Amino acid sequence: MLEHPDFPKTDFSHMRTGIMAGSPCPISVMRDVVDKMHMTEITIVYGQTEASPGCTMSSTDDPIEVRVATVGRALPEIECKIVDPETGADLPDNVTGEFVARGYNIMKGYYKMPKATQSAIDKDGWLHTGDLACRTPEGNYRITGRLKDMIIRGGENIYPKEIEEFIYTHPKVSDVQVIGVPDEQYGEEIMAVVILKEGQSMTEDELKQFVRDHMARHKTPRYVQFVDAFPTNAAGKILKYKMRQDAVELLKLQKANSIETA
């Protein structure tokens, strides 16, 4: 809607509140919704279908920083915590791990799929979401990415969402997805797939330099691709695995992709 040609001449003065949900929302987009769509009381809900579908929510009276940069607190009667993905141990505030939830909202299980259910819900009833997150000392949660999306480059954990959030701030960028692609030397390398705003042009080096100037050097994308759209499923969810498959073909990384890793 923000990018629609009729947006500048549309009256949003009657707007006040709403819920942002369904997919991670960049902080810059949340601020645009507040400022340009008059939705000063917008909130965020985080969850998934298996959680019917919400686990956390921000409040209309939370400070704007909380409502644009976190997904709020646990909903009533729902337990949420951050655990180490490897050991399952509880993690302290401000440490990234896997978001897990337990409560009346959690599904009984996947229909006729006991093994899938067992891998999603542990013996104590905690739903393992597969999302990376951390909790602030105030009790708010920040989603930092997907466990499966995490890029491991030469032994370093790199979270795509952090790089996406920064690239989003470039005035020429309309949308961006950061993925990991196979690499013979480092195991994985970073690739940024970018949709530019209408009428804009940019080179790969320009984008790389923008990231290099403001982030740690190892977070600079090795590859940059400019596209008109991302592959999605019927529900509009972006298919990162399909983007990775396409990148392997485009960049001729079949050899690196065939290397087995632990």
CB 38 within 8 A of CB 13: yes
Written as one letter, the residue type at 34 is V
Assigned domain for 198 exists = yes
Assigned domain for 1 exists = no
* In a shared domain, residues 199 and 228: yes
Give the model's pLDDT for residue 235. Answer: 81
* In a shared domain, residues 94 and 120: yes
Examine the pLDDT at 243 and tell me if it is beyond 90.
Answer: yes
**Nearest to 135, CA basis, from 99, 180, 177, 173:** 99
CB 61 within 8 A of CB 53: no
Environment class of 17 (CB within 10 Å of its CB; exposed 0-12, middle 13-18, buried 19+): exposed
Examine the pLDDT at 29 and tell me if it is beyond 50.
Answer: yes
CATH at residue 228 = 3.30.300.30
**Nearest to 243, CA basis, from 173, 197, 185, 195:** 195
Give the model's pLDDT for residue 262. Answer: 39
pTM: 0.78
Q: Which residues share a beta bridge with 181?
A: 189
Assigned domain for 238 exists = yes
Q: Which domain holds residue 109?
A: 7-146
Give the tens place of pLDDT for each residue, 70-87: 999 999 999 999 999 989
The token duo for 127 is 């739903």
Give the tens place of pLDDT for each residue, 172-198: 999 999 999 988 888 899 999 999 999
Give the model's pLDDT for residue 89. Answer: 97
The token duo for 73 is 């607190």
For the chain, what is the total number of helices (H) and then of strands (E)? 7, 13
* In a shared domain, residues 172 and 187: yes
CATH at residue 35 = 2.30.38.10
Examine the pLDDT at 30 and tell me if it is beyond 50.
Answer: yes
Average pLDDT of the segment spanning 213-224: 95
Residue in the block written with tokens 């939705």: 39
**Nearest to 92, CA basis, from 53, 139, 126:** 139
Distance, CA of 1 to CA of 16 (rounded, Å): 16
CB 179 within 8 A of CB 37: no
**Nearest to 133, CA basis, from 161, 114, 153, 155:** 161
Average pLDDT of the segment spanning 148-174: 91
